[in-house]
Amino acid sequence: MGDAHASATGELPALRRAIVDPSAIRENVAHVASLVAPAAVMAVVKADGYGHGALTAARAALEGGAERLGVADVDEALALRAAGIQAPVLAWLHGHDPSFGEAVEHGISVGVSTRLQLERAVEAGTTTRPALVHLKIDTGLGRNGLQKAEWEPVFEAAGDAIASGRIRLEGLFSHLSNADDEEDRAQLDAFLEAEQLLRSLGADPGIRHLASTAGALRLPETRLDLVRLGIGAYGLSPFDDATSAELGLRPAMRLESRLFSVKRVAAGTGVSYGYTYRTDRDTWLGLVPLGYADGIPRHVSNTGSVRVGDQVHRIVGRVAMDQFVVDLGEHEAQVGDRVVLFGDAERGEPTANDWARAASTINYEIVTRLGRRVKRVTA
Ligand SMILES: *Cc1c(COP(=O)(O)O)cnc(C)c1O
């Protein structure tokens, strides 16, 4: 098999490659956008686009019809601006002593979760260039956002700030726990209560948003004016009981490498640190040059699987920092054979969900934790 992707980008084959397909992101966003319309889509590209590359993800999502972008912190938003992204961007996570001067300068909207953040937004805004604010309320998740007792006083303060012309209220938002549908509906009720309160104080809430991927797909009443689409944009399912394909999504990342060693060993051979695996027959072992430093969870030792050529083989022995071993059985694979760690089930590849299951975690963690040595390549 030729090294099509590497040659397509004119690069030498890398030891470890995450191949990101922007067309999958574009199509996933377009699919969800049509599903949730008339609600709009904000594509969430925090944490380097969930490990896919923030810029690649942002551009593809905007092409797919996302109207806005969302990130955790202002630095992530500034990086998008520095790369020429002009679409509206919202950043909602700020440190203990926030300052929003740069956000205002670059037209970045800020999520305001505390009175201090509101004051800082007012300080940063001017009447010619008001701070763009989305008020964030805690409707039950228990993370950031104004607690219920703070709604009225902070909404009143926000009203004064709006009247001063130093902030513009762009939106009101909250985040669901996805504990179950009933809990999420209770959060929606709390949200609507806050909206009414804000309106009764004379302020227009602007864009109301509550749902992330899970709510957007499963609980239509939570779509409101906009959904914040994270994991779904990357083609991964937020649900244990639904695959990407069942949701009409296509995984945008394939993690691959090549065998760098293949050897025949006798029955009873101990494999990797601590000999947590011993071969029970003569067999072929293949070595793959990714380890926990590359984001391969040590928890997949003896449980995960990868595809070598056209066969799926189990990871055996402990995952080390830089490499792991697969038991190839009687598959006489060759040094240099392609190994797909995860990709698209529709192509017969293991998935990020398979990895998540093997490591007792979620697919979000599998894609976002890939290490720096893994080279991102655009398909
Ligand atoms: C990360 C995040 C999202 C995206 O969630 P997904 O489950 O990936 O769709 C949405 N909103 C907020 C506030 C987030 O932090």
3.40.640.10, 3.20.20.10, 1.10.8.10, 3.40.50.620: which CATH number matches 22-236?
3.20.20.10
Catalytic residue check, 273: yes
Give me the DSSP letters along 5-36: HHHHTT-PPPSEEEEE-HHHHHHHHHHHHHHH
Domains of the chain: which residue ranges?
22-236, 253-378
Structure tokens at 171: 């939106």
Q: Which residues of 332-346 are buried (b: 16+ CB within 10 A; e: fewer)?
A: ebeeebbbbbbbbbe
pTM (predicted TM-score): 0.95
With a Cβ cut-off of 6 Å, ligand 1 is lined by 44, 46, 92, 175, 212-214, 228-232, 238
**Residue 191 φ/ψ, nearest 5 degrees:** -60, -45
Instruction: Decide: residue 125, CB within 10 A, 0-12 exposed, 13-18 middle, 19+ buried.
Output: buried
Superfamily holding 253-378: Lyase, Ornithine Decarboxylase; Chain A, domain 1 (2.40.37.10)
Note the pLDDT tens digit of each residue in 300-339.
Answer: 999 999 999 999 999 999 999 999 999 999 999 999 999 9
Residue carrying the six token digits 């227009």: 204
Instruction: Decide: residue 320, CB within 10 A, 0-12 exposed, 13-18 middle, 19+ buried.
Output: middle
Work out which ligand 1 atom sits closest to the CA atom of 233. Answer: 9
State the Cα–Cα distance between residues 44 and 112, nearest whole angstrom. 17
Note the pLDDT tens digit of each residue in 130-150.
Answer: 999 999 999 998 888 999 999
Q: Whose CA is nearest to atom 4 of ligand 1?
A: 230
Low-confidence ranges of the chain (pLDDT < 70): 1-13
Binding residue positions for substrate: 143, 321
pLDDT number for residue 13: 62
Note the pLDDT tens digit of each residue in 37-58.
Answer: 999 999 999 999 999 999 999 9
